[in-house]
Chain A
Amino acid sequence: MARRWASFLLSCLAICSLVTLAVTVKHENFKTCAQSGFCKRNRAYADTALSTTNWASPYSLDPTSVKFDRGILTGTVIKQTINTDETVRLPLTIAFYESGVARVTIDEEKRQKGEIELRHNSKAKKQRYNEAEQWAIVGGTKLSTGAATGNSAEQSTTRVSYGPASAFEAIIRHSPFGVEFKRGGETHIKLNDRGLLNVEHWRPKIDKPEPEKKEGDEEKKEGEEAVVAESEKDAAEDEGTWWDESFGGNTDSKPRGPEAVALDVSFPGYQHVYGVAEHAGPLSLKETRGGEGKYDDPYRLYNSDVFEYEMDSPMTLYGAIPFMQAHKKDSTVGVLWLNAAETWIDITKSTTSANPLSLGIGGTVSTNTHWISESGLLDIFVFLGPSPQDVIGSYSELTGYTQLPQQFAIAYHQCRWNYVTDEDVKDVDRKFSRHKIPYDVIWLDIEYTEGKKYFTWDPMTFGDPLGMQKQLDESERKLVAIIDPHIKNEGNYPIVDEMKSKDLAVHNKDDSIYEGWCWPGSSYWIDCFSPRGREWWKGLFRYDKFKGSAKNTFIWNDMNEPSVFNGPETTMPKDNLHHDGWEHRDVHNLNGMTLVNATYDALLARDKDEDKHHVRPFVLTRSFFSGSQRLGAMWTGDNQAAWPHLEASIPMILSMGISGFPFSGADVGGFFGNPSKELLTRWYQAGAFYPFFRGHAHIDTRRREPYLAGEPYTQIITQALRLRYSLLPAWYTAFHEASTTGAPIVRPNYYVHPSDEKGFAIDDQLYLGSYGLLAKPVTKEGEVAQDIYLADKEKYFDYFDYWMYEGPATVSVAAPLETIPLLMQGGHIIPRRERPRRSSGLMRYDPFTLVVVLGNTGDAEGTLYLDDGASFDYQDGAYIHRRFVYSAAMGTLSSEDLAVATGSKTSAYLKEMETVKVEKVIVVNAPESWKGKAEVSISEELAGKSSGTRSVPLDWHAREEGRAAWAVIRNPAVRIGSGWKISFA
């Protein structure tokens, strides 16, 4: 009986916890496509076009207007509006860049020239927004000198060959207008192939009486010629969403009327598309037009503060990167849709038989996408690959590379909303040290301020911020304090007084200061689109202005979508006005980035007057756009302490990685709610593989600092943290690679194995940098084993016990709670630092361990990038960049210099690092021939000369059960910054 009661209670508890988990996003707060006028119109347009045989797009390129000059093709696209017999002139530019990127831009002449009238006496700018590139694009736009128009085989097309070895070709079809992109003669991307191009031209609002309905109207859909006209008429008749639009009690005045741009982009033969971050869903994007396993709504990009967001959804989140890649066996291509307005992307896939005569052979799957933005230019960049890295690299060249962060930024961050006093912070700091748990940064959420007034400290609770930061600095730890863009509207607050008197805030549609609600209550928003606003913002972070901040204070920019509690969809009204009269609708998705940009500059500026001290800024942002990667890190926002959120974090972070913004992470432990100890432990194990690794918790949750978990959890969590710290040399090198090539820091299977079709959709396991380290964190409750997918014919070894696996295969790896499933692919050399310290800064002079993992070829290599982890001195050559190579044929392990050039600070740095050596070399899968070998000989290059040779002991261990043989070289003591060679022969 008692038993029965117990089980009854348990099931009650289970139900209760289910109920708690079921709390998710409030859908009524956010628009569906059908509630977003321009999305609805364009989807309807697509429906009409796609259900009509011989649909003819009403856009054509005037052949007489086409000009090609030094890599740029110009012309005019004519839009025929049949029901009004009006033609609309749309200036076209197609630029071909040296990097192999092509860019197609379509504007609208009338708006461009300002020949339109705005409604409601609006002060808004008349042009289509054309400044997104000023924020997003920073390089790679050198025009191609080799691009050339060739003779067109077909009539009414223009051909341009371009790209490396002129292997790329753009075929511009005049009527209807469309572009086909080829690489090596094969078509990879088609624009307007399905005829969904739509540029909503300006038109005056005419108040006309309700048209009388004629019977039989709907049955007229037959004659082909009539179809276009009919559909235009349909659209014309549905003016319901052209003008003022209401949602959730807010009305958008839309002074410029309908102005959407839309285009279909087809990827023939491509089954997988990735990107368009940020969404909580699988890495390989799903279809969006309904059906089983498909979404009903398009992927949406409209940066929003989504409360308790849901899993597996195309719903918008906090940031937007309108960059998509398509991948098939051995080929990756992509597009960047440079538009900062609200954007929706429909994705469908179609199967066509490659050869209709070859029955039984599976057809080819193609992916069709439909991009719809509310306003702005139609501006699309086309990348033709062919490798994933080629596409991501070109994209990164355009939008900028990941900032090389300070080393502390890639170590562990301890955050909570909120550490309540300066004493509390010091206490947590002490406890980490006492429990020998490493951490680098402690964070302060909004409560440290006096009444949510940024740049102030609550005198009651943070009376001595400098003393607090001094204690942190003693073990080289840092503080990150939150500064949000909403400035409290309250008397006697100099910041708001200044912002008002200098007119630096965002305006409302009437062009006066916009007031909304956020954490402090009534607030104004800094307009970082304004150069004056940015300059002012820069000044606020000076140590004498932001009193209580110190050199180890860094910044967290939250709520920068912007989040406005009483605004439509929790953000600003679209008809708000920014600097220079741009409407908020034009720039919404850029807004978050402009704040981070200003904060980044501010952190640079605060140190300008100081001697020597110019450290790299660190800014964390929630909202982002293409280009934000240049400025710092992002996190996936307000997740929940629930297993599905842990699971979703992996594809979300992989997606950020391939979207050029790899410095990403999810709140470890989950923001809302209390994680079970198992979940917390598993989350730390997963978090150790997030590029940005931060534990965070909501104010209503119980404390969960790792030392509070109790045994065995505290110990297991500490192991995960120490694993991260021991691998920091590898992480830092991977960040360096990202900062120079755009390569993801954690990589999905398709990126590492672009030929392996079976692995294209895998998004629950990840590779760290170029090190062949393959992790599959446990993300399900009670799981004690993981199936890991090995894509290639190569040996893999368990990181911890050297158990050997052979690929290609799916192998099962034991994963009891204390274990992170982590394998090492043969052929790599992994640098580690094994001495546990209080923070990463205190590891600066610690020796290295090199783990040489020998695979099928018997060769291995790996790189190491090292600098002071803090300053910009690396730009003056103060860094070490080595490649370690193990050659089976030669039987040697050697260190080669990869440094590109020496600079003014090179030698001083190398001198400083002279004492830093390699203390241990571990060779996994060591050859049997080493059996009985007791020593290896070492020669080192010192001061440009060989040191002669010396011997050090080798300790060889035979293969046991399934474990590989392994060997240890005892204390080779070679300098990390020098050339050297260890000979095993």
Chain B
Amino acid sequence: MRTLAVLLCLNCAAIPYVVGSEGGRPRGVGPEFAKFYKDATSFTCISNPSISLSISQVNDDYCDCPDGSDEPGTSACSYLSPLSPHTLAHQSNAGVNTTLALPGFYCKNKGHVPSYVPFEHVNDGVCDYDVCCDGSEEWDHVGGTKCEDKCQALGKEWRKQGEARQKSLGNAGRKRKELVAEAGRLRKQVEDRIQSLGTEIEGGELKVRQLESELTEIERKEKGKVVRASADKEMGKMGVLVGLAKQRTEELRNALTRVKSERDSSRSRLQELEGILSTFKEEYNPNFNDEGVKRAVRAWEDYAARDKGPEPDAAHDRDLDAFTKSDKENGLDWEEYESDDEESDTEVLYAFEAYLPSSLRTWLDQKLRDLRLWMIDSGILAGTAPSTGESKGVTDAKNRVSSAKKDLDGLHKSHREHQEDLEKDFGLDDVFRAMKGQCVSTDSGEYTYELCFLDKTTQMPKKGGAHTNMGNFVRLETIVVDEDVPPNGKGLGSGERVAMKHENGQHCWNGPNRSTMVVLACAEENEIWKIMEEEKCVYRMEVGTPAVCGIGGEGKPAPAKDEL
């Protein structure tokens, strides 16, 4: 325990400081701390009650308490902070609490909202009207500083703006409700769609099953066919060859088409690139000491000087075009080779079925088939060789199955997407669902900047020219901000805010891919307040939107100090 002796003050330098302000509270003490300063003769440090001081040591501009509570009205204890260098003389009693017990100097701000000023600002010669409109923190008038009381005027203005802000806040709240309702509607849409997709999928699965059994059936029948080809080996080989050739030709044609389109796109990219480089070569400043640039230019010059190979040949291209036309157009009719249309004996046999009543036909058909299969199985009859290619019927059936499967896959995919969409983070109340695709833009410097919610951010030169993607939406995040709010309320304020991360925008020369952090705060309208390039190709947008009103302290009346 340490008690500092009360000493007679001969020079009485401390007296002006001791005088408390009206209401019995010493200068700088807020009402919630008044109870600690009631005793008329002594004061005990708030966090260290074992240290007892004379009341004359309160506000005598010398820091006695390790928590600074004896100097609520001066800057004497302002050095008590983890931000200050610590010396032994600052922290004499190891283990005692040296966190400041008071939030700052209390400004009454009569006619306005009271607030606390950091102790660092007390008597530094600056009137901090933004937090202390009554100027009471400059009570010592250092260097002749006089801060008149501006609370009446500022308070009036604040209340006026406050009403407007309140109104706007109300509107914003309503808008958010609308957005949430819209989001709900959209969500319902998705849910409904998921449901109907479920039904469609069931149907699709059923269809696939049916078609598959049909296919099995057809193949079974097919097996039973007496195929002339089985006897005619040469013709069989031809059939295989034709089948293979057709398939291969089709594949080659497809590949050629793809290669051609890839070539065209590469060629145009190359042209664009060469254009960029030759402009680069012409426009670069040869005198910057950037060896990298110089090397790049030299390499380009070498490249440009080299033999480029043959120019694109129009005739050659026409040939390629011709190749990619269908075979029929090229005078090649596969069917001629495929459908050896003389009916086989078996088919003749089958044909007579047509004249029978359908029930009998089915019965007979079944019997015949069974018979044939028995004959094949017992080796009497040769089966239809599978290698000889399948009949049109089988192919068609197969196509039907695969197309049904494809449809089903599509349905599954759509279902999955909708499901994912449903699970995706659209923020509290799903609110951003309603904003997808909405865009806002603003002018800043020589550019217009655009934000398309849940999509991307873009920079567009006002003078025209290519737009630059500044990042694609990745996810929602929460970040902590600490910013001033201008009187019009268009600012982030302090605390946690919803932010949208955009990444992988256009690559920056000599830098990273562009990215943008969009930080949102409550406002009546969607609006970009501020756009900054914090460092090369890393942007930050501050955006007002009703979507975030009421989230994380947003939309509540902001603390007075931000509003003065």
Give the B-binding residues of A (Cβ under 8 A): 26, 29, 305, 307, 420-421, 423-424, 427, 430-431, 434, 436-437, 460-461, 474-476, 516-518, 521, 564-566, 570, 699-703, 715, 718-720, 722-723, 726, 799-802, 834-838, 842-847, 912, 915, 917, 919-920, 922, 934-935, 947-953, 955, 957, 963, 966, 968, 970-971, 973
**Chain B residues positioned under 8 Å from A970 (CB to CB):** 4, 62, 64
Shortest beta-carbon distance from A903 to chain B in Å: 21
Stretch from B165-173, B184-192, B217-225, B287-295 that touches the partner:
B287-295
Q: Are A919 and B62 in contact (CB under 8 A)?
A: yes
Out of B5, B88, B530, name the residue touching A423 (CB < 8 Å).
B530
Give 19 A-B pairs besides A726-B84, A842-B124, A950-B10 with Cβ atoms closer than 8 angstroms: A29-B289, A516-B287, A699-B536, A718-B83, A800-B85, A836-B79, A836-B81, A836-B83, A836-B84, A836-B120, A845-B125, A845-B143, A922-B89, A949-B10, A953-B5, A963-B88, A966-B89, A968-B92, A971-B62
Q: Are A702 and B143 in contact (CB under 8 A)?
A: no
CA distance A516 to B83 in the complex (A): 49
**Chain B residues positioned under 8 Å from A29 (CB to CB):** 289
Q: Which residue of B lies closest to A564 (CB)?
A: B287
Beyond A460-B445, A718-B83, whether A912 also contacts B289 by CB under 8 A is no
Out of A726, A947, A968, name the residue touching B89 (CB < 8 Å).
A968
CA distance A475 to B126 in the complex (A): 7
Q: Are A424 and B532 in contact (CB under 8 A)?
A: yes
Beyond A838-B120, A973-B13, whether A565 also contacts B289 by CB under 8 A is yes
Binary contact readout B71-99 vs A (1 if CB under 8 angstroms, 0 otherwise)? 00001101101111111110010000000
Give the A-binding residues of B (Cβ under 8 A): 4-5, 7-11, 13-14, 60-62, 64, 75-76, 78-79, 81-89, 92, 118, 120-121, 123-126, 140, 142-143, 285-289, 291, 445-446, 482-484, 510-511, 530, 532-536, 538
Beyond A800-B87, A844-B125, A973-B11, whether A915 also contacts B534 by CB under 8 A is no
Q: Are B83 and A719 in contact (CB under 8 A)?
A: yes
Shortest beta-carbon distance from A487 to chain B in Å: 16
CA distance A963 to B87 in the complex (A): 12
Q: Which residue of B lies closest to A688 (CB)?
A: B85
CA distance A224 to B2 in the complex (A): 90
Out of B82, B286, B287, B511, name the residue touching A715 (CB < 8 Å).
B82
The 7 closest A-B pairs by CB, nearest first: A565-B287, A950-B10, A845-B142, A517-B287, A566-B287, A971-B62, A842-B124
CA distance A834 to B80 in the complex (A): 10
CA distance A847 to B75 in the complex (A): 10
Beyond A703-B534, A912-B143, whether A722 also contacts B289 by CB under 8 A is no
Q: Are A838 and B289 in contact (CB under 8 A)?
A: no
Q: Which residue of A lies closest to B9 (CB)?
A: A950
Shortest beta-carbon distance from A215 to chain B in Å: 46
**Chain B residues positioned under 8 Å from A934 (CB to CB):** 5
Out of A475, A703, A845, A948, name the residue touching B10 (CB < 8 Å).
A948
Out of B79, B82, B85, B484, name the residue touching A835 (CB < 8 Å).
B79
Number of A-B contacts (CB under 8 A): 155
Q: Are A436 and B446 in contact (CB under 8 A)?
A: no
CA distance A564 to B288 in the complex (A): 9
Q: Are B87 and A702 in contact (CB under 8 A)?
A: no
**Chain B residues positioned under 8 Å from A948 (CB to CB):** 10
CA distance A596 to B124 in the complex (A): 34
**Chain A residues positioned under 8 Å from B482 (CB to CB):** 431, 434
Beyond A436-B120, A948-B10, A973-B11, whether A700 also contacts B85 by CB under 8 A is no
Shortest beta-carbon distance from B5 to chain A in Å: 6
Shortest beta-carbon distance from A729 to chain B in Å: 15
CA distance A957 to B118 in the complex (A): 31
CA distance A799 to B64 in the complex (A): 22
CA distance A844 to B76 in the complex (A): 15
Q: Are A420 and B532 in contact (CB under 8 A)?
A: yes
**Chain B residues positioned under 8 Å from A476 (CB to CB):** 126
Q: Are B142 and A919 in contact (CB under 8 A)?
A: no
Q: Which residue of A lies closest to B85 (CB)?
A: A723
Q: Are B124 and A836 in contact (CB under 8 A)?
A: no
CA distance A837 to B128 in the complex (A): 13
CA distance A771 to B448 in the complex (A): 57
CA distance A284 to B287 in the complex (A): 36
**Chain A residues positioned under 8 Å from B124 (CB to CB):** 837-838, 842-843
Out of B5, B92, B445, name the residue touching A421 (CB < 8 Å).
B445
Shortest beta-carbon distance from A725 to chain B in Å: 10
5 cross-chain CB contacts under 8 A: A29-B289, A434-B482, A726-B79, A845-B123, A845-B142
Shortest beta-carbon distance from A957 to chain B in Å: 7
Shortest beta-carbon distance from A488 to chain B in Å: 13
Shortest beta-carbon distance from B150 to chain A in Å: 15
Q: Are B88 and A800 in contact (CB under 8 A)?
A: yes
Shortest beta-carbon distance from A639 to chain B in Å: 15
CA distance A846 to B142 in the complex (A): 9
Shortest beta-carbon distance from B540 to chain A in Å: 10
CA distance A436 to B125 in the complex (A): 17
CA distance A453 to B304 in the complex (A): 35
Q: Are A951 and B7 in contact (CB under 8 A)?
A: yes
Beyond A703-B534, A842-B126, A915-B142, whether A518 also contacts B79 by CB under 8 A is no
Shortest beta-carbon distance from A966 to chain B in Å: 7
Q: Are B446 and A722 in contact (CB under 8 A)?
A: no
Q: Which residue of B lies closest to A724 (CB)?
A: B85
Shortest beta-carbon distance from A796 to chain B in Å: 15
**Chain A residues positioned under 8 Å from B78 (CB to CB):** 835-836
Shortest beta-carbon distance from B503 to chain A in Å: 16
CA distance A971 to B14 in the complex (A): 10
**Chain B residues positioned under 8 Å from A702 (CB to CB):** 535, 538
Beyond A565-B288, A951-B7, whether A700 also contacts B83 by CB under 8 A is no
Beyond A460-B445, A845-B143, A919-B62, whether A719 also contacts B85 by CB under 8 A is yes
Q: Are B533 and A700 in contact (CB under 8 A)?
A: no
**Chain A residues positioned under 8 Å from B82 (CB to CB):** 715
**Chain A residues positioned under 8 Å from B79 (CB to CB):** 726, 834-836
Q: Which residue of A lies closest to B123 (CB)?
A: A845
CA distance A199 to B380 in the complex (A): 122
**Chain A residues positioned under 8 Å from B11 (CB to CB):** 947, 950, 973
Shortest beta-carbon distance from A922 to chain B in Å: 5
Q: Which residue of B lies closest to A434 (CB)?
A: B482
Q: Are A722 and B84 in contact (CB under 8 A)?
A: yes
CA distance A332 to B164 in the complex (A): 75
**Chain A residues positioned under 8 Å from B84 (CB to CB):** 719, 722, 726, 834, 836
CA distance A801 to B91 in the complex (A): 10
**Chain B residues positioned under 8 Å from A846 (CB to CB):** 75
CA distance A800 to B84 in the complex (A): 12
**Chain B residues positioned under 8 Å from A912 (CB to CB):** 143
**Chain A residues positioned under 8 Å from B123 (CB to CB):** 845
**Chain B residues positioned under 8 Å from A955 (CB to CB):** 4, 92
Out of A26, A835, A836, A844, name the residue touching B291 (CB < 8 Å).
A26
Beyond A719-B85, A800-B85, A963-B88, whether A919 also contacts B10 by CB under 8 A is no
Out of B142, B289, B532, name the residue touching A307 (CB < 8 Å).
B289
**Chain B residues positioned under 8 Å from A953 (CB to CB):** 4-5, 7
Shortest beta-carbon distance from A270 to chain B in Å: 39
**Chain A residues positioned under 8 Å from B9 (CB to CB):** 950
Q: Are B285 and A517 in contact (CB under 8 A)?
A: yes
Shortest beta-carbon distance from B396 to chain A in Å: 52
CA distance A417 to B560 in the complex (A): 36
CA distance A427 to B534 in the complex (A): 11
**Chain A residues positioned under 8 Å from B86 (CB to CB):** 719, 800
CA distance A461 to B533 in the complex (A): 12
Shortest beta-carbon distance from B416 to chain A in Å: 31
Q: Are A842 and B125 in contact (CB under 8 A)?
A: yes
CA distance A834 to B77 in the complex (A): 9
Q: Which residue of B lies closest to A424 (CB)?
A: B532
CA distance A776 to B358 in the complex (A): 107
Q: Are B87 and A801 in contact (CB under 8 A)?
A: yes
Beyond A430-B484, A700-B511, whether A919 also contacts B7 by CB under 8 A is no
